[in-house]
Structure 1
Amino acid sequence: MAPFAPALRQGRMYGRGASDAKGQVLAHIWALRAHLEATGRSSPAVTLKYLIEGEEEVGSPHLSELVRSHADQLAADVVIVSDTMLWSLEEAAVCTGVRGSVNAHLEVRGPRRDIHSGVVAGAAPNPLTEICRLAGRLHDDQGRIALPGFYDTVAKPSDEERRGIVQIPFDTDAWLERTRSRSVQGEVGYSVLERVWTRPAAEVVTLLGGDPDDPARGVIPAVASADITLRLVPDQSADEVMGQLRQWVAEQISDGFEYELSTSPTNQDPYVTPPGHPALAALENAMSRTLQRPALRIRNGGGAPAALLAETLDACVLFYGTGLPEDHWHDSDEKAEVKALLQGAETLAYLLDDLPDRLHPEQHGPI
């Protein structure tokens, strides 16, 4: 079957992008239909502006320019970003923040060309060995990131938020099964959910060099490369962290190698929804109505251009996604739970009905 052809099986829609994030867009469309039908209105209770951006997986290189050049047209009281995950289908848990991200590409050069190892092994600079050495030094033995000054501005979550995280029903074995992780790793002294939601992270996501396919030629490669993703939390700055990464690589690289470190122009700062904003209360109420239980608060481990939207449009950013950890985003068996989409549509329909009174008791403004 073609990878982008949807396939419905046992209440799940399979296909590339089904959960990240075509299904999330669909939930918004269904929500508008439900809102109009339930209220009998010919137009929604708030002014809606949909921005469906299709370059997110390649870093959204044109989003900043688009938003800034059309800020007047996109002006809003509230922005809803739907590129996040739910905790589960049973728990009412509203996402209140996302981590920022820095994406960097490191290329290390050793010999001037690929050289047969029988000629120079033991005497020539091996860029694969060097880049693996650097990757191994990215964290200390406590799981902390080794960049100079990296933790200087990391804001710890409030005691209230940490108490809220403890209320999330969490079972390590179930989490390992849902995410298909083999074990729990990371920074010592923090729970799994604290590590994923409230602490920064550094991951090597690609490592290339030598012969990727058999048979190997037995050469020391001239070039090796790695892609590194850093996840940031309040109050870190993507620009500052990129500078810290540059300093660290310059200090750590061994003599006898050349290197180039480049960064994505679309790095993102972290963002947390203001905890007392009335729109957040409206979303929590809507989710509680759908799932018939009080809403808890979570964060998401991934990134989103929320800080850009909040700053450019001077608006509060809410997060409501319909993805689940077990949806296998970016994999060949990615899926969306139809139940999650229906619950999402119901929640968003309630939100459309409730927002006007929450934001403008005397007049309805745009969202």
Structure 2
Amino acid sequence: MPTEIHTFLADHRTALVQELTGWLRLRSVGGIPELVPELNRSAHWLAAVLREVGFPGVEIWQAEGAPAVYAEWCAAPGAPTVLIYSHHDVRVSKDEQWEETSPFEPALRDGYLYGRGASDAKGQVIAHLWGIRAHLAATGRDAPAVNLKVLVEGEEETGSAHLAGLLDEHRPEADLIVFSDTLLWRRDHPAVCTSMRGTILAELEIYGPERDVHSGAVSGPAPNPAMELARLIAALHDDKGRITLPGFYDAVAEPSERTRAEYAALPYSDEDWLARSDTRSIGGEEGYTVLERLWARPAIEVLTIVAGDPEGPSRAAIPAVASASLSIRTVPDQTCAEVAEQLRRWVKETVSDRVEYQLSVSPESGQDAYRTPDDLPAVAHLAAAMQEGFGAPVGRMGNAGGGPADLLTRVVGAPAVFFGTGLPEDRWHDSDERASIDVLTAGAATLALFWARLADG
């Protein structure tokens, strides 16, 4: 069957590219009210393609301008039921920073399809659609060998604020969740992802003078919120790269010897990582490898800093306000609620009494980390399918970003495995986002083989 699947996908490679190209043209940017019509068009586009693939039950779940697409194909009595999760909303794009093409005018070059959402995560959904087509073509079946349910939400990029409500309302049942919004390691050495870090977002504003004040008139005695914000940000880490929030590491477990060995077995060099990630240099918590820092240790990052006159000529004024957006990545056993409270206490105790501040952090909008159970048989089935799908050795990895995996497993009551077709060099959230067509077709082959293995297993 692997030969038939690969042949089918090779024969339909152009059709896969054309399908993804059509979807990428829709500007389904999350969080922008005037683009809600594009999100709706994207949802209806996907619903139509799911029906064309063969799904007999397809619905659009409305969620305040962020429609989710849900589909069922349950025609295999006694076989496992799998819920596939992904998203069709994309990040905002700064068109002037794109060089290969405009964000929503997809272009195929040197085996890569460029466009916003190509890898995160429309390409991953397309891999699923062609995986199902290949599975049916190779087996001669009229319906998949397992019962499939698909949930593709429309607000993952803005925090999945309404996903819990949708799940609560519709209560989809499944035996297994396949979470497809993740990365692979390398095309020639894919890896099964077995964990996902959690995410908490926070906004910190520091208030100094009552208004922007000419620096020549008050410089020296006046409070400067930009400098206080810089001091606080610098104090978030000690000289060994550890986060300084009291109690932050109380729930952080050391990576197991098994996990460390799995990460160490992946092909890695600093030079390769720097070239693929465009990160210039390597830092972080001492005592851990780069891959352990990425997947098994928590982190705090500053995403934006705004103060004074960020554009145009400077007014030479001390700003009244300085603000920063913070992203906290947690690991299993930490909870969003506990970490949010640790951040609140730390800011209150650390900030200067010469300024005022406001910290906005909502643990309800955070996403807790998740780890796939070590003994879950589906992991071995997925690894075997990846070996055949990619024709390469398969390792184990984690996912440095976050997502609603923990929420899905709690509400659905089923464990999750991760399978994505992104690569670190695919430039998620950046200009010139792209997807490798070879990886998409290998991913589709993997999924086609996975459904057969799950049914047999």
Q: What is the TM-score when the length of structure 1 is the normalising length?
A: 0.95
Q: Distance in 2 between matches of 1:252 and 1:21?
A: 39
For 1:1-367, list aligned pairs within 5 A. Answer: 2-71=102-171, 74-264=172-362, 265-358=364-457
Q: Distance in 2 between matches of 1:108 and 1:70?
A: 42
Structure 2 match to 1:362: none
State the Cα deviation string for residues 191-225 of structure 1 (Å, max 9, x = none).
10010010000101110110011200011111110
State the Cα deviation string for residues 225-280 of structure 1 (Å, max 9, x = none).
00111111121111100000001100110012111111244201100101111111
**What stretches of structure 1 move > 6 A for 4+ residues in a row?**
none
CA RMSD of aligned residues (A): 1.0
Greater RCO, CA 8 A, separation 6+:
1
* 2:150 alignment partner, SS class: coil
Unpaired stretches in structure 2, ≥5 consecutive residues:
1-100
Q: Post-superposition shift, 1:356?
A: 2.0
CA contact (8 A) 2:390 2:443 kept: no
Amino acid at match of 1:280: V
Q: Distance in 1 between matches of 2:395 and 2:109?
A: 31
Q: Distance in 2 between matches of 1:218 and 1:157?
A: 49
CA contact (8 A) 2:334 2:369 kept: yes
Q: Post-superposition shift, 1:291?
A: 2.8
Q: Post-superposition shift, 1:290?
A: 1.7
Structure 2 match to 1:361: none
* 1:94 alignment partner, SS class: strand
State the Cα deviation string for residues 12-53 of structure 1 (Å, max 9, x = none).
000011111110110000101000000001111111111111
Unpaired stretches in structure 1, ≥5 consecutive residues:
359-367
Q: Percent identity?
A: 54
Q: Distance in 1 between matches of 2:390 and 2:125?
A: 21
* 2:397 alignment partner, SS class: strand
What is the aligned length? Answer: 356
Q: Post-superposition shift, 1:294?
A: 4.3
* 2:203 alignment partner, SS class: strand
State the Cα deviation string for residues 134-167 of structure 1 (Å, max 9, x = none).
0000000000000010000101221111111111
Q: Distance in 2 between matches of 1:31 and 1:291?
A: 13
State the Cα deviation string for residues 152-197 of structure 1 (Å, max 9, x = none).
0101221111111111110100100000111110001111001001
Q: Post-superposition shift, 1:123?
A: 1.0
Amino acid at match of 1:35: H
Q: What is the TM-score when the length of structure 2 is the normalising length?
A: 0.77
Q: Distance in 1 between matches of 2:444 and 2:391?
A: 15
